[in-house]
A and B are shown apart, each in its own frame.
Chain A
Amino acid sequence: MIRTGLFPSRFAPLLTSLAAIAAAMILGGLFLAMRGKDPIAAYGMLVSRGLGTSYGITETLIRMAPLLIVSAGLLISLRAGVWNIGIDGQLMVGALFAGVAAAAVAGQVASPVMWMVAALAGMGGGLLWALVPGILRVRWGLNEIITTLMMNYVALNVTSWLVKGPVKDPSVVPPQTVLIPRELRLPAIPGTTVHIGLLVGLIVVVLVTILFRYTVIGFMLDVLGRNRQAAIHAGMPVNRLTLVALLASGALAGLAGANDILGVKGLFQGNWNPGYGFAAFALVYLARLNSLWIIPFAYFLSFLAIGGEMMARPLGIPTYFVEMLEGLMLICFAVATYVERMRLPFARAEEIETGPANAGEPPGPLLGEGLLEPIAQSSGGQP
């Protein structure tokens, strides 16, 4: 499954992703048609507003920043075979920490110092939230899929309690942290209205690419993800690597939260949950676990989100149509990789051995192969 990564010149796996996206768009169009909306008009407006207006492009780029950071983090854990489903919770805690820390030092130190403080606080928050499932996993072998998922709900409630009480801005009525004045927030990239968080996102993606391509720890994480038993056999510190993978993705989720606070919102509000985690899953899989491919797919999914919002209101389509599209993409992707496996007599020796015997009829359940199962579960409620 995870055979991309070291050879970005091979674009073949990308076709599978593109086919999945196309299929999801067609299925989404059918849903629109069933609801009596004209899919051609809807997609037309999606493109014309999302790609054809400077507002659409700017908003897309702004939205891209946290997605890049979150996805880079998720990619680290998934490459290491660790399922961090708790991105959203880690992001919320990180955002809250960043909001509180930034407000505490705002105006007293130079802005760049404040940004650093907030970024570190955000990463610390996300890391802390990933630490709990991490310890449970390496000490007692508890399944991180369950624990990270559950920590999301804990995060939602803990942050909303904190923001209603202990860290609430007492001068306003709604539950929120102290607002950071606009002039202290992240500046725009010169010549644009897009804040520099986008650059941070791109840098993070490049760093993760370097991690996996050129460093020992990246190599070890990759081996762990591909064959845990081989990692044990080779004497790699398997528990430590598992923890590192989980903590790194948590910290990056927290950084993404800090990015939104410093770049866009200026404060943390109770119940704020942008739901990047699910989009990141779609994104990382569409990018075939290849870090550099995250960039175009992040742009595409951001465009879908922004363009979707812009076309939904005038056409009377619910805004969560875009979320449904993301879910459909994951399902189509799962099917597409299955087809891909059947078509390409690839890789593993046992496949070659058993290949001729059952080449004609596909054996086993559709989503049977390990990696895709949890996705199938997490997108289980989709139509």
Chain B
Amino acid sequence: MRGISKRFGPVVANDRISLDLWPGEIHAVLGENGAGKTTLMNVLAGMYQPDSGTIRIAGEEVQITSPADALQRGIGTVYQHFTLVPNLSILENVVLGEGGVLIDLGAAEGKVTSLLADFGLDISPHTEIRHLALGQRQRVEIIKVLFRGSRVLLLDEPTSVLTPGEVTSLLDLLRRLRDQGIAVVLITHKLGEALAVSDRVTILRAGRNAGDLGPDVMSGANRESVRQRIVEQMFGGSQPAATRLLTAPAQNRVIPKHEESRRRDPHAETRFFARTLNDTPSQKDTPSAALLSLRGISTLGDRGVPALNDLSLELLGGEVFGIAGVDGNGQKELGEVIAGQRPVTSGQVLFEGVDITNRGVAAATRLGIGYVTDDRLHEGSVAGSSITDNVALKSIGRRPFSNGFWLNRRAMEEHARRLIAEFDVKAPGPETSIGMLSGGNIQKLLLARELALDPKLLVCNKPTTGLDLRTARFVLQSLRGQADAGKVVVLISSELDELMEISDRIGVMYNGQLVADMPSTEADPQALGDLMLGGVKRSRRVPA
């Protein structure tokens, strides 16, 4: 692939990316969320047509017009979300989409049976997919594309749904496929896996090639230096000053504040280090000091896959706790657990010493926990309803909006008017349907809705996504202001900049666990990036 570019509206997802695949190699494509990995893969898989650039297969320039065309040319794709029909058998799924009117099931059965055996799956090809575990289904997906004679196998985040044991055997399988001469493309943001199996690594950053490491480097003895190099290429050194969200004075304001909070509480400093250095035991002895304590929380994600795994956390008053992590490592679920929106399967949630485990959103809201979701259109707001209705949504059963039965429409409308004015929302009036507003104005209203309830603890998931600089800055300043007023803010974000700007502490999530927790003064983007990718922080025990 040479100079592939693809833009979506104003967003350039791929900017002149080049990629070479060799038979018998495992090629990892690494990058942050939004670095352009998936887009590049979709171009190769025929889902998108590139705006410019060329693709050659065995030296011959080709146009891949559709996924079927890609398959025809020997490029098979296994997507992150499986495409198997649950109530058809393995065999039926594999031959599904095969051309022609009649399918020679007999011959196919023989081939599938031998592939299954090859793949270490000791099951009949007539087993229905719904009886298989996720790891097994993924193998069937791979069999499905190999059955069509694919020579190039694309895997998009293949390990995100797997247990650690399944990951190991998948990586073994990929090695064996490589030895059979297949070119395997592994798209991932998990550095450990990439390092473990890849012969070649391509790093994407902001839609561009940020680095290529060939087999010479990858087979080199020094793992650690390779890792260092990759992290550096993914996250880079210092950010250009222009992208900083808060101005220098604001930054200055933050740090004294942080110092001051330590001064106010003489034990704070020791507690910081107690937490960061020797972990769990000491935490459990001092529960009363924390506003929020999470103890050994585990929960499932939307698709029934474990999302949080024995996570513990304590939050004190007057701080912004930033949570960094690559999307899908449990940050959203953590926010939802705190907000009472997602039940935990084990563990305990204590708020001001009161056990609120699985008590639900209404109880959490009443006690003073606010939550601003990252999905402002489909979860945060009711698009077809007015601003008035939307800002009253979370406290409709309480005064002044109602007496529990009758609505007080005048109070609701007054409230909406006040928030529109206070937060400088660009809207014709409170009766405007919230869906007609811009993302930034909706975000302001959602934030305003929470702040109006005067929460003691506010969880914000990616509050600045898609906002212009001014609004983003306003949002961050509001959050900082909350903490300065003695409240606690949990800021979940994938923007390391903004986390470092306004957080007092930064935690890193990886695979449903909090793998690090440090004062933001000690954090630097490279170290955080390393941790986000599953790297080990040396000074600290890492949960198994």
Contact = CB atoms under 8 A, between A and B. Distances in A.
Interface string A1-41: 11100100000000000000000000000000000000000
- Classify the secondary structure of A's interface with B: helix
B436 interface: yes
Contact of B389 (A1, A217, A219, A233): A219
A47 B129 CA distance: 60
A226 B382 contact: yes
Contact of B436 (A216, A229, A349): A349
Contacts of A347: 383-384, 433, 435-436
**Chain B contact patch, size range:** 35 or more
Interface in B80-130: none
Contact of A235 (B365, B379, B385, B406): B365
Interface string A180-222: 0000000000000000000000000000000000111101101
A234 interface: yes
Contacts of A6: 386
B460 to A, nearest CB: 14
Nearest to B363: A235
Interface stretch (B209-217, B312-320, B391-399): B391-399
A350 B373 CA distance: 18
A233 B361 contact: yes
Contact of B377 (A220, A236, A350): A350
B340 to A, nearest CB: 7
B365 A233 contact: no
Nearest to A232: B341
Nearest to B372: A233
A57 interface: no
A209 to B, nearest CB: 13
A237 interface: yes
B382 A215 contact: no
A229 B384 contact: no
Contact of A214 (B363, B377, B384, B407): B407
A215 B405 contact: yes
B493 to A, nearest CB: 19
A230 B382 contact: yes
A275 B438 CA distance: 46
A332 B364 CA distance: 47
B347 interface: no
Given A234-B361, A235-B360, A235-B365, A227 B407 contact: no
A237 B365 CA distance: 13
Q: Kindly state the interface size class of chain A when it binds its partner.
A: 20 to 34
A235 B394 contact: yes
Contacts of A237: 362
Interface centre among B371, B373, B402, B435 (most CB of A within 10 A): B435
A223 B385 contact: yes
B435 A2 contact: no
A347 B381 CA distance: 13
Nearest to A3: B384
Q: For the complex of A and B, list the 4 residue pairs with the smallest distance between their C-beta atoms, beginning with the closest.
A: A235-B361, A235-B362, A234-B393, A3-B384
Interface of B: 340-341, 360-365, 371, 373, 375, 377-386, 389, 393-394, 396-397, 402, 404-407, 409, 433, 435-439, 442
Given A216-B402, A219-B407, A222-B385, 12 more contacts: A214-B406, A214-B407, A223-B389, A226-B382, A226-B384, A229-B378, A229-B379, A233-B361, A233-B379, A234-B393, A237-B362, A348-B384
25 contacts: A214-B409, A215-B407, A216-B402, A216-B404, A216-B405, A216-B407, A223-B389, A226-B383, A227-B378, A227-B379, A229-B378, A229-B379, A230-B381, A230-B382, A232-B341, A233-B371, A233-B373, A233-B379, A235-B361, A235-B363, A236-B362, A347-B383, A348-B377, A349-B442, A352-B436
Interface of A: 1-3, 6, 214-217, 219-220, 222-223, 226-227, 229-230, 232-237, 347-350, 352
